[in-house]
């Protein structure tokens, strides 16, 4: 398996380089999108595709909570031969006022037999007192006890600090105490979650920076939702602020308006910021894998989806297509081949002669200028009706 970063060196992940882990949660958080339901067979196929893409971690589901996920982990152990990825079982901390070693949900996580377990724990005091209906002290103990127990069973443990950014805004001392408790108990990663999706890049970056300063031993990740339309931007802001793990879903699937879209986050990091997230040669599979997974969940990729949509590199205006014929970078921010996509010329009333000639060449036709002009006139006449 590909090595993951384990330390946080000085100046890590400032602009212009660095390394991050990629944690895909399509099989768990992604399936919480309305209209998505995967069979175990489909989940195994998605996991194989994610491994081909080169992600570090694949969150397979919540064993014990869903029979389908319990079956998935049982079959994955026998049937999946992952090359780059580590499979992760997801669950919650022990219940309030119970012992970790007698919690059946934690036993189900152990029975999944994965190297890594990701635990979700409350980091917003409001949720501890109102949703869990317990004390803040017990909320911290639930995190500490769970991480300690799973570590004693030989598991690597990540903690998803649920509602971290709302909690940090409301009661920063408590939110930071959750990060500190998880780290001291042995959590390898503490992932700061914008669970309600309301964060903006500036506040996300500020909270990440403050957390790094307050809990310097913590190794941080980011998990964002898109309710304010900023999941990708918030993820990139968190990376610049120093997280080393990004979580997200293929095609931005997820609860409500979705999670951070890895089909945008990954090329943004690799191609725009020089961050080592997945190898560039695997990034060329991005468009194909995006569409294959879309077929499995039975939701077509938006044609105008950044990077992987069929129209992401489609050009309609005549001036654009004319310039592209001379310089491919004139109206394209990257080479489409870098993400496995292609340039398309769209023939319309806005087209010029170069568009018609280019489209003809796509179909193996060699038109002269006069014929191209006739075709263009016909198209413009038809679209004017």
What per-residue confidence (pLDDT) applies to 345? Answer: 73
What per-residue confidence (pLDDT) applies to 360? Answer: 63
Residue 44 near residue 71, CB atoms below 8 Å: no
Render pLDDT for 17-46 as a digit per residue (tens, 0 to 9). 689 999 999 999 999 999 999 999 999 999
Residue 32 near residue 65, CB atoms below 8 Å: no
Write the DSSP symbol of residue 314: E
What per-residue confidence (pLDDT) applies to 110? Answer: 98
Q: Where are the domains of the chain?
A: 21-297, 314-384
Instruction: Answer yes or no: is pLDDT of 77 > 60.
Output: yes
Nearest to 183 by CA among 121, 137, 138: 121
Q: How far is CA 361 from the centre of its chain?
A: 38
Q: Read off the pLDDT of each residue in 263-278 and give the average, rounded to a whole number.
A: 97
d(CA 216, CA 320): 49
Instruction: Answer yes or no: is pLDDT of 92 > 60.
Output: yes
Write the DSSP symbol of residue 54: T
d(CA 256, CA 198): 12
What per-residue confidence (pLDDT) applies to 198? Answer: 98
Render pLDDT for 297-348 as a digit per residue (tens, 0 to 9). 999 999 999 999 999 988 765 455 555 555 566 567 899 999 999 887 776 5
Q: For the chain, give the mean pLDDT.
A: 90
Render pLDDT for 222-248 as a digit per residue (tens, 0 to 9). 999 999 999 999 999 999 999 999 999
Strands, E, within 47-105: which ranges? 57-61, 86-92
d(CA 364, CA 361): 5
Backbone angles phi, psi at 172, to 5 degrees: -60, -35
What per-residue confidence (pLDDT) applies to 3? Answer: 44
Backbone angles phi, psi at 365, to 5 degrees: -105, 145
Backbone angles phi, psi at 326, to 5 degrees: -95, -40
d(CA 88, CA 62): 9
User: What is the chain's length?
Assistant: 385
d(CA 206, CA 201): 9
Write the DSSP symbol of residue 48: H
Instruction: Answer yes or no: is pLDDT of 7 > 70.
Output: no
Supply 20's token pair.
Answer: 């991050």
What share of the chain has pLDDT > 70, as a percent? 84
Render pLDDT for 153-179 as a digit per residue (tens, 0 to 9). 999 999 999 999 999 999 999 999 999
The band of 199, judged by pLDDT with boundaries at 50, 70 and 90, is very high
**Contacts from 134-137 at CB under 8 Å and sequence distance 24+?**
134/96, 134/97, 136/174
> CA 157, 285, 279: angle at the middle one, nearest 5?
55
Q: Read off the pLDDT of each residue in 363-376 and give the average, rounded to a whole number.
A: 71
d(CA 53, CA 145): 35
The band of 361, judged by pLDDT with boundaries at 50, 70 and 90, is confident
Instruction: Answer yes or no: is pLDDT of 134 > 90.
Output: yes
Q: Which strand (E) or helix (H) includes residue 166?
A: helix 164-170
Supply 364's token pair.
Answer: 């193996």
d(CA 224, CA 234): 7
Between these two residues, 315 and 212, which has the higher pLDDT value? 212
Write the DSSP symbol of residue 135: -
Q: How far apart are the first and last CA of the chain?
A: 60
Nearest to 243 by CA among 166, 302, 191, 182: 191
What per-residue confidence (pLDDT) applies to 15? Answer: 46
Given the DSSP bridges, would you call strands 245-248 and 220-224 parallel, antiparallel or unpaired?
parallel
Name the fold adopted by 21-297: TIM Barrel (3.20.20)
Q: Read off the pLDDT of each residue in 356-360 and give the average, rounded to a whole number.
A: 65
Residue 225 near residue 187, CB atoms below 8 Å: no
d(CA 171, CA 235): 22
């Amino acid at each position: 398996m590909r090595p993951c970063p384990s330390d946080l060196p000085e100046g890590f992940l400032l602009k212009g380089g660095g390394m991050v882990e990629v944690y895909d949660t399509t099989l768990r958080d992604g399936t919480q999108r309305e209209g998505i339901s995967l069979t175990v067979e489909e989940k195994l196929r998605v996991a194989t595709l994610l491994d081909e893409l080169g992600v570090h971690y694949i969150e397979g589901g919540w064993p014990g909570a869903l029979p389908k996920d319990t079956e998935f982990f049982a079959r994955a152990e026998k049937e999946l031969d992952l090359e780059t990825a580590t499979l992760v079982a997801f669950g919650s901390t022990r219940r309030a006022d119970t012992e970790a070693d007698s919690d059946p949900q934690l036993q189900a996580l152990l029975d999944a037999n994965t190297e890594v377990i990701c635990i979700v724990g409350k980091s917003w005091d409001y949720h501890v007192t109102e949703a869990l209906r317990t004390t803040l002290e017990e909320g911290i103990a639930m995190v500490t006890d769970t991480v300690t127990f799973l570590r004693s069973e030989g598991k690597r443990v990540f903690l998803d600090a649920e509602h971290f950014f709302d909690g940090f805004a409301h009661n920063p001392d408590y939110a930071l105490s959750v990060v500190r408790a998880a780290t001291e108990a042995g959590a390898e990663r503490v992932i700061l979650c914008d669970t309600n999706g309301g964060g903006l890049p500036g506040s996300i970056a500020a909270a990440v920076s403050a957390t790094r300063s307050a809990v310097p031993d913590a190794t941080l990740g980011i998990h964002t939702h898109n309710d304010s339309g900023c999941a990708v931007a918030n993820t990139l802001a968190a990376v610049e602020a120093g997280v080393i793990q990004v979580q997200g879903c293929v095609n931005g699937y997820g609860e409500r308006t979705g999670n951070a879209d890895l089909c945008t986050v990954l090329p943004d990091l690799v191609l725009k910021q020089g961050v080592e997230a997945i190898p560039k040669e695997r990034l060329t599979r991005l468009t194909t894998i995006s569409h294959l997974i879309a077929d499995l969940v039975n939701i077509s990729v938006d044609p105008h989806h950044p990077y992987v949509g069929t129209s992401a590199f489609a050009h309609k205006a005549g001036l654009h297509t004319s310039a592209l014929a001379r310089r491919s970078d004139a109206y394209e921010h990257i080479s489409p081949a870098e993400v496995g996509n292609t340039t398309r010329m769209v023939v319309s009333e806005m087209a010029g002669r170069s568009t018609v000639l280019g489209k003809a060449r796509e179909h193996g036709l060699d038109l002269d200028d006069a014929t191209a002009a006739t075709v263009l006139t016909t198209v413009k006449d038809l679209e004017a009706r």
